[in-house]
Structure 1
Amino acid sequence: MTAIALTNLATEVRADFPILQQQVNGQPLVYLDNAATSQKPRAVIQSLVDYYEGYNSNVHRGVHTLSGKATDAYEGARQKVARFINAKTEQEIVYTRNASEAINLVAYSFGMNFLQAGDEIILSAMEHHSNLIPWQFVAAKTGAALKFVGVTETGQFDLEQFRSLLSDRTKLVSVVHVSNTLGCCNPVTEICQLAHAKGARVLIDACQSLPHQAIDVQAIDCDWLVGSGHKMCAPTGIGFLYGKLDLLRQMPPFLGGGEMIADVFLDHATYADLPHKFEAGTPAIGEAIALGAAIDYLTAIGMDRIHAYEQQLTQHLFQRLAEIPELTVYGPTPEQDRDRAALAAFTAGAVHPHDLSTILDQSGIAIRAGHHCTQPLHRELQVQSTARASCYFYNTTDEIDRLIESLKEAVEFFGAIFS
């Protein structure tokens, strides 16, 4: 792939995103908060309009034309998700409201029923709260013990410590693929191999990797993987759980109600086949269809092309951040982790990240400030919060340059105040 083709990617696609065409506080918008949520292309927005204007109807339950069309589009989107991550069958894809619900599904259906006192769950110190709190619930209920993999000096998953934590008591490992704070890309395939050798199951939180690189669940050999639509050009309110078919069949339903049943009697019920066993009630139909549209859009561009272009953005971002000596950037450099995310979490001495974000917003630049739902990690880094700039394939090097110039001005401004 030529450098020209990579460089032109953002130029090719920016017109597809209406929200990027505006000004904020009198300046062209520079949206660098993509790790929190991505923007939506017209094709995704239009898919929602088409559904609500043209064939809004409940799925599965009706035999009329609109219901059939809605059902076909809804289930067609499930097939697209399955192909996108190379699942063996669409039955391995369960729709959820978001990745948090998907993790909770596994925690309650598998964790509460298959774990017991003396078992061990291994997590990492860099986990998003959504991949931490559900396992705290499981540990408190079952008596299973939580163990945590730390972070290396370069801000990466400590694989050697993980090896040492594994034992015959390890029953479940749940780790993030790409950290939303450190940006590191964790060795999930090797993690699965090591865990499986001990008989443990593995869940992968892929929220920060699915939008940015090709994912193959069969190659990774994870037992479960979760994703969230709103980070990959789809609407909010839709996510999914991938699970190996035989494992999902063993797991009892998480929620009860309509749609997830086969036969209902007054005192008992039998349950529908996968994946509907885990999808109680009327689903987010339009959002699921739009998730399929987002996958079509990303696939047409090519995930390898997106990843390669974002590697260029990452190199440029880190090169420019290095020009500001007051900044401390957390996580590995692109040289230390070539697959790291195109994001950077940083602090600027005594300047509070919220103040940095506020100043940048006045220039039309949107970044995130806070603990990014990784409070334990921030404690390990010995900082209360960080500022975070995160790119996507529609961002440009010129936008990164605007970020750097505004950061320099902000650091100089606060430096004058504090001096």
Structure 2
Amino acid sequence: MMAARSPPKTSSGASRRRPIRRRPVSRRSTQPRSPFAWQRYTPVTPRGIYDKINVLTQGIGTGPYKLVEFVPNDRVVYTRNPDFWNKDLPYLDEITLKVLPDEQARVAALRSAAIDGATFTADVAKTMANDRNLTVLKGLYAAHKEIQFVLKDPKNPWSNVKVRQAINHAINRQDIIDKVFGGDASYSSIIPPGYGDWPLPEADLKGNYLKYDVDKAKGLLQEAGFGSGFEMELQSINPPRYITQAAEVVSEHLKAVGIKANVVPLEIGTFAKNNADGSYPGAQLTARGMRGDPNGYVTEFHPKTPIFATWFEGGFLNEELTKTLDDALLTPDQAKRKALYTRAQQILLTEFPHIPLVQDMKYQVVRSRLKNMYVSYTDFNTGLRESWVEA
């Protein structure tokens, strides 16, 4: 639900844009390789703000909108920030984000004009393509799906690299794409497709690193001493349902090579806790998020990061990978960095401490009165900065 504000125009009809003043930002660290909020995003806040406000319900920041109201499991209300650095933006005066976990409830709300837009699965979004009151948007976004292991206990079968290689080759990614994502997804490396030219080419993934090969998988299990298979738990996030659907498809693939993967759907809070403390007893099928630098997708594989101790210490270490990641952070030469992160991905797609799967397309459907909205690769709905509604 949105309050209208038309975009300002110049005499030529183009929207005005103000130049950006760039200033250098420095950060001093006492650690040789301290993580900066997973290399992802970190708020810069006034000193003592956590003692002055409830940060769970009271927002503070310099973005295009200001928090007005937060009602858990119901709605979030934002108003235009008059102090935003770009005085022309945003165009909307107010936004209400309505919590509607049920997809069919979102469809009904959109068709009845109770809301102006929502995110949908591919199959459901396509059912609305012929509605002249609606516009279907789709785009690649940085949230590839992958299987994550804890490799600290050598007694677990998946602590054996040949078992992880076998699991990788037993997975039919095209089957996941067709059954879960309506045929609208791509193979993903450790760095997801769409992230510039940093990911490995999809042809290399399909033909080599992530190649579907049941016979090879069975042979690797035999070599590892698990020719008769084994049983494991595969945790998934639910909702969203498609994560668990992907886990169920993977479970069927693994059954063909003798691995019984029991899918355990969990709500996000429990799933995240298990992930953070490494307490899950088998593997987790999860989705990654946007990272501000290629290093953000590989930093957990470096032994000096805290999560490495939780997931891998004592069970996985590759000295070449460690040196490659260090060198990539130390050089400002982008061509050299590209070569180094290519090598890092090649190592990771040989040892598979995590197993990347696919990157799907994101679908959003909006009412036709909402203009200039788009699917953001960052998955942060940045289109709401520059979109507007027509009466």
Taking structure 2 as the reference length, the TM-score comes to 0.29
Taking structure 1 as the reference length, the TM-score comes to 0.27
